[in-house]
Each structure stands twice: as C-alpha cells, then as structure tokens.
Amino acid sequence: MKRTFQPSKIKIKRVNGFRRRMSTKIGRRIISNRRKKKRNILCK
C-alpha cells in the first residue's frame, strides 16, 4: 500500500507557485499578506 503523500515539485509549483499567485487578484493578496507578516518564504 502506497503512502498518501507522493511529493512532486511540478505539481506544487503549478498550484502554489509564485507565478500562479501573481496571476490572480486573490493570489496577489496572499503574497502581500505574507510580505506584511515578514515571511521568509512567500510561496513555494
């Protein structure tokens, strides 16, 4: 039986990547909120 988490860098980038975030209004809001909090990592 396989484990549930099968990591794939490409899948993570497509859903949570910086370019994907910047392409939508809500995504840009996420980035700006993380900048306000001074997060070291803005997104994947």
**3 in a structural domain:** no
pLDDT score recorded for residue 34: 97
**18 in a structural domain:** yes
**5 in a structural domain:** no
Q: Give me the CATH number covering residue 32.
A: 1.10.287.3980
Per-residue H/E/C for the chain: CCCCCCCCHHHHHHHHCHHHHHCCHHHHHHHHHHHHCCCCCCCC
Does pLDDT of 44 surpass 90? no
Looking at the 3D structure of the chain, how many domains does it have?
1
Q: What is the pLDDT of residues 18-30, one digit of tens each?
A: 999 999 999 999 9
Range of the domain at 24: 10-44
> Mean pLDDT across the stretch 25-43?
96
The token pair at 30 is 């996420």
Q: pTM of the predicted model, to two decimals?
A: 0.77
